[in-house]
């Protein structure tokens, strides 16, 4: 369960897409996870860094990455998550909250909106903005951003 939640946190995939991942979805040479979204059948290719690579190395090297979670329906996964949260005294979050959190984190660090939108599979910028609306964005001084000295700077 912990690895499943950690992967949701890192990649922002829907819970059904994450639970359906198999080891064969991972391209270790390109450092990507590729799959077809269950909701609309569109391809998704997500690059990953060292944190996700370390996590993926702890999972099965063939077949389902999350064998127990992959057997459950979305409602059952959501119910198990809700029950665990309730038992821990945590309220107000769901498995879907991981997608909102990913969108907010992406926005707060200046990740280009079109990349975040693609990562989450949102065809509508309005939907994506609704996901990221709770982000706390700290803007760098314009002069640092323009000169490229800010750590969030993008080429102009």
* 3 state SS of 41: coil
Distance, in Å, from the CA atom of 129 to the CA atom of 113, rounded to the nearest integer, reads 9
Model pLDDT for residues 60-103, shown as the tens digit of each residue: 999 999 999 999 999 999 999 999 999 999 999 998 898 889 88
Model pLDDT for residues 31-40, shown as the tens digit of each residue: 999 999 988 8
Give Cβ neighbours of residue 133 (< 8 Å, ≥ 6 apart): 104
Structure tokens at 42: 């569109």
Give Cβ neighbours of residue 89 (< 8 Å, ≥ 6 apart): none
* 3 state SS of 52: helix
Sheet holding 32-36, edge to edge: 26-27, 32-36, 43-47
CB 107 within 8 A of CB 135: yes
- Is the pLDDT at 155 greater than 50, yes or no? no
Confidence of residue 57 (pLDDT cuts 50, 70, 90): very high
């Amino acid at each position: 369960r912990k690895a499943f939640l950690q992967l949701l946190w890192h990649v922002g995939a829907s819970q059904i897409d994450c639970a359906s991942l198999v080891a064969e979805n991972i391209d270790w040479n390109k450092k990507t996870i590729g799959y077809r979204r269950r909701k609309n059948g569109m391809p998704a290719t997500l690059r990953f860094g060292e944190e996700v690579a370390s996590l993926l190395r702890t999972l099965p090297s063939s077949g389902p990455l999350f064998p127990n979670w992959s057997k459950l329906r979305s409602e059952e996964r959501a119910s198990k998550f809700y029950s665990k949260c309730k038992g821990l005294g945590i309220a107000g979050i769901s498995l879907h909250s991981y997608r909102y959190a990913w969108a907010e984190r992406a926005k707060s660090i200046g990740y280009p909106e079109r990349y975040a939108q693609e990562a989450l599979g949102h065809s509508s910028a309005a939907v994506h903005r609704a996901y990221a609306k709770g982000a706390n964005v700290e803007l760098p001084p314009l002069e640092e951003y323009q000169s490229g000295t800010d750590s969030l700077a993008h080429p102009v």
